Chain A
Amino acid sequence: MAQVVFTLGDDISTDAIYPGRFMATVLPTETPQFAFADYEINARLKAGQVPAGSVIVAGANFGCGSSREQAASTLKGHELVIVAKGFARIFLQNSANLGLRTIICPGIEASQGDELDITATRVVNKTTGKSFEIVPLPKARQDIIDAGGLIAYTRKRLLEKHGVGRIEN
């Protein structure tokens, strides 16, 4: 069970998730402080009031705009789960690559404070009693998610290609 901590409409851009003025900050260890910097949830996130696994519910085309990976790493840093009616391509890809959990749920209806139960195929809103179907992620992303993210996947592919190198300690 997870609580909805924030709800948003359609077309939430990466400028909203991670404003351009913080783009000089790139490291995943440093980006979480600027998550939704211009929204009130930023203060709650920074104060540690949002537990890992909490859910943000959004409309269609979440993460549209820039390819900035900070938009995924900033949310991953708080271990948030994003349930949206739809996602923009690059954001969805960055999320899979960094291990940010994204759920495509075209019919989702939820308000802040609702409790959700997310199964493999459905999102159940325990507060309203309604249940919504999940659309599976594009199959191209699943291998990368299964490998534990793109760094691990790339490392695996590198070792497959070149063999294990001489490790010096």
Chain B
Amino acid sequence: MGMTVVQKILARATGQASVAVGDVVEPAVDLAMSHENGALVMNQFFEVYKNTGHEPKVWDPSKIAIILDHRVPAESAKTATNQKKIREFVAQQGIAKFHDIRGDEGGICHQILPEHGYTRPGQVVVGTDSHTTSHGAVGAFAFGIGATEMAGVWALGSIFNVEVPATIKVVVKGELPQNVLPKDLILHLIGAISAEGANFKVIEFHGAGVKTMSMSGRLTLCNMSVEAGATSGIVPADGETERYLREEAGVTDPLDLVTPDADAEYARVVEIDAATLVPQIACPHTVDNVKPVGSVATVRVQQIVIGSCTNGRLDDLEVAARILRGKRVAKGVRMLVFPASWRIYRQALKQGFLSDLVNAGAVVMNPGCGCCLGVHEGALGDNEVALSTTNRNFKGRMGNPKSEVYLCSPAVAAASALTGVITDPR
């Protein structure tokens, strides 16, 4: 029996010829990522070493990445102190892949990792963030873990007791129509298989619609796979993977483009016809409450958000700028834009997208997670409605349990900013 991409990655990472679904394995970790919650990982890491007689020392400082992104610049003394402790730890342990709150190197962890070529096809990547699934876009087996689990990785370099997951094969036939975007595709999939439809499983993306999709779109697909419960999303590495890593991330090392065997076994195959897809909206308060844009087209919104690890890349900003250029955001609507990294910010600045957005009335914020997780800025008032390109619409997500969040593509968000109601961009 052949193997899926993730089976092949886990076989290599455990030094075996093959692994079967359900095997319990302990793969070596190629990259271990944390953000502000590195402060909790540190706490648990020191706890592990207590009374062992060993000096707390990470297993390999070159394989640990820490990116400050969740609350930047700090919103409180508590956060600022956590960030300070992280800086001290990074210096003391010699962790090189550290991205501080800086305009030259900062951004959201799930953008920084691919952008700097830290994540590669065939790797095992773990992160103390559920959207670590993003890195399946470059062909890595990437999944979210808890802080205590990460303390174990920092100490010993492997991830304990991983059950080899089954895989759902998603085949995207055809190509997306104009102004229907990868975000619509993944929202449609989540709606179709439900928020727990892929729990404990991997989603492997195939088909012409994925083959022709840029890395940015693939990152959106894999990023939101976790919203269907998936351990990871993954796009088998191909020419686009190589192009992105060589041309955009500057990787010069040999790449291991891992692809699945033709006779790999899948738990389920889901086919999607991209050509007939319309813009999709995830309605409050679950991500799988997905409806075609037309059925919610009268909902009035007070805040539009474009950004996050899901949709804060250059092509997302370009779509929004093209729709808003020379026009004005509707009265009574606040539009917040969070580029996913400072590299993207600089590119969007150079290409004029940021001035298009600002001239239309948008507020361009500094790169980071921004208001996505409701902790930092851009909170909603009571009974207000946000339409957002972020990834979660759980009750209270944007800082107020008395508000509502709808999720959409950058095209829908921009078109709706002009009207103040949820609007079909086509």
Within 8 Å by CB of A25, from B55, B78, B196, lies B78
With known contacts A15-B394, A144-B160, A154-B156, A27–B43 Cβ distance under 8 A: yes
Interface residues of B in 24-59 (CB under 8 A from A): 24, 36-37, 39-40, 43-44, 47-55
Q: Is B373 a contact of A20 with CB atoms below 8 Å? A: yes
Cβ contact within 8 Å between B82 and A26: yes
Known: A88-B196, A151-B148, A158-B155. A20 touches B79 (CB 8 A): no
Q: Return the CB mask of A154-169 against B: 1 if under 8 Å, else 0.
A: 1101110110111110
A89–B394 CB distance below 8 A:
no
Annotate A1-43 by CB proximity to B: 1 below 8 A, 0 otherwise. 0000000000101011001110111110000000000100000
Indicate the member of A66, A72, A141, A157 with the most B CB atoms within 10 Å: A66
A167-B394 contact, Cβ under 8 Å, with A89-B200, A89-B229, A158-B155:
no
* A side interface size, CB within 8 A: 52
Complex CA distance for A164 and B54, rounded to whole angstroms: 8
* Chain A hits for B24, CB < 8 A: 139-140
B144 contacts which of A20, A67, A139 (Cβ < 8 Å)?
A67
Q: Decide if A97 is an interface residue (CB 8 Å cutoff).
A: yes
A61 pairs with B229, CB closer than 8 A: yes
Q: Given that A19-B374, A88-B199 are contacting pairs, would A154 and B52 also be in contact in the complex, using a CB cutoff of 8 Å?
A: no
Which residues of chain B come closer than 8 Å to A162, judged between CB atoms? 54
- Whether the Cβ atoms of B375 and A20 lie closer than 8 Å is yes
Interface pick from B111-119, B315-323, B396-404? B396-404
Q: Does B329 contact A (CB under 8 A)?
A: no
B37:A154 contact, CB within 8 angstroms: no
Partner of A144, one of B37, B48, B71, B161: B161
B195 at the interface (CB under 8 A from A): yes
Instruction: Identify which of A60, A93, A158 contacts B52 (C-beta below 8 A).
Output: A158
Question: Which of B's residues lie within 8 Å of A, judged by CB?
Answer: 24, 36-37, 39-40, 43-44, 47-55, 70-71, 76, 78-79, 82, 127-130, 132, 144-149, 151-152, 155-156, 160-163, 195-196, 199-200, 229, 231, 286, 288, 373-375, 392, 394-397, 399, 401
Interface residue ranges, A against B (CB under 8 Å)? 11, 13, 15-16, 19-21, 23-27, 38, 60-61, 64-70, 72, 86, 88-90, 93-94, 97-98, 138-141, 143-144, 150-151, 153-155, 157-159, 161-162, 164-168
